[in-house]
Amino acid sequence: MPTSPVHDRLAAVRARVDDAATAAGRDPADVRLLLATKTQEAESVLAAVAAATSLAASRGDDGPVLLGENRVQELVAKAPALAGPVAAGRVEVHMIGNLQRNKINQMLPTVTGLETVDRSSLADAVAERAARAARVLDVMVQVNVSGEESKSGVAPSDAVALARHVAALDGLRLAGFMTIGARTDDRTAVRAGFSTLRAIRDEVVASGAPGTSEARELSMGMSGDLELAVAEDATIVRVGTAVFGARPPV
Ligand SMILES: *Cc1c(COP(=O)(O)O)cnc(C)c1O
């Protein structure tokens, strides 16, 4: 078993997720890790992918390693290094940061999913570009469950309507929902936000509206709050610092 700092940190995060899933009566295999790679050079991303692949293999999981990028500029810079693994189906890349309309075409060739659709105009623009590129892009609706002004995301009260809009568009497949947990030490408040996202997901999936039946993903939980998210049915937890170490201040 090869070990390296990134391998050891990944194993520790995976153990946290497994413990939280087991405590919630869930199958740990139903929770995937997404490695949030912002500010990491391509070289360290590839090292983390290798570690994640070997860790997954030791668990009998041969699925792709999931990466998340926040900025199109960084995504494009790392695209050459990731092209091979993505083409081989060994890596999937999700956009997890705010997306401007004028960056959609730059983003599309490198991503397998977009987690940050928070308004219908953006959904329409991405759908149109994806359809033109003969793609069907997996997307999630980002919801601002905490109501913090600094956070992106549609308001919970508008999330179901946006999801139904997205689900009906050619060029997009509604995969589920994403949120960033409240920035507070109040664990009850953080968990309540994750519970809100879960309720939105359940309402949409149960709605019977076109394109909604597969929208089961809940991308929520980060290095500091992933246990609370797993307890509320997270299917993807997005981890950065717990895997790569602290980021330099920006
Ligand atoms: C940076 C980031 C993460 C990971 O955060 P950590 O606290 O470093 O684990 C997850 N999601 C999004 C959207 C991020 O920008």
pLDDT tens readout for residues 163-180 = 999 999 999 999 999 999
Contact (Cβ atoms closer than 8 angstroms) between residue 110 and residue 93 = yes
> 5-244: CATH homologous superfamily?
Alanine racemase (3.20.20.10)
The predicted pLDDT at position 3 comes to: 75
Ligand 1 center–CA 85 separation, angstroms: 22
For helices 156-167 and 120-132, angle between their N-to-C axes, nearest 10 degrees: 20
Q: Spell 86-109 as b/e; 16+ CB within 10 A means b.
A: beeeebbbbbbbebeeebbeebbe
Distance CA 225, CA 146 (A): 14
Atom of ligand 1 nearest to the CA of 34: 10
Q: What percent of the chain has pLDDT over 90?
A: 96
Which residues make Cβ contacts (< 8 Å) with residue 57, sequence separation at least 6? Answer: none
The torsion defined by the Cα of 131, 207, 177 and 231, in degrees rounded to 10, comes to -150
Using pLDDT thresholds of 50, 70 and 90, give the confidence band for residue 2: low
Which residues make Cβ contacts (< 8 Å) with residue 137, sequence separation at least 6? Answer: 108, 111, 112, 113, 114, 126, 127, 130, 171, 172, 173
Minimum CA distance residue for ligand 1 atom 11:
238
Distance CA 60, CA 58 (A): 6
pTM for the model stands at 0.97
Atom of ligand 1 nearest to the CA of 239: 9
pLDDT at 212 over 80: yes
Using pLDDT thresholds of 50, 70 and 90, give the confidence band for residue 250: low
Helices of type H across 98-141:
104-107, 120-132
Which residues make Cβ contacts (< 8 Å) with residue 64, sequence separation at least 6? Answer: 89, 90, 91, 92
pLDDT at 82 over 90: yes
Task: Tell me the per-residue pLDDT of 32-63, one tens digit each, with 9 for 90 and over.
Answer: 999 999 999 999 999 999 999 999 999 999 99
Distance CA 76, CA 78 (A): 5
pLDDT at 134 over 70: yes
Give mean pLDDT, residues 115-119: 98
Assign 29 to helix, strand or coil: helix
Give mean pLDDT, residues 209-232: 97
Mean pLDDT (the chain, rounded): 96
Which of 34, 71, 238 to mutate for ligand 1's pocket (most ligand atoms within 8 Å of CB)? 238
pLDDT at 190 over 90: yes
Lookup: tokens for 232: 């509320």
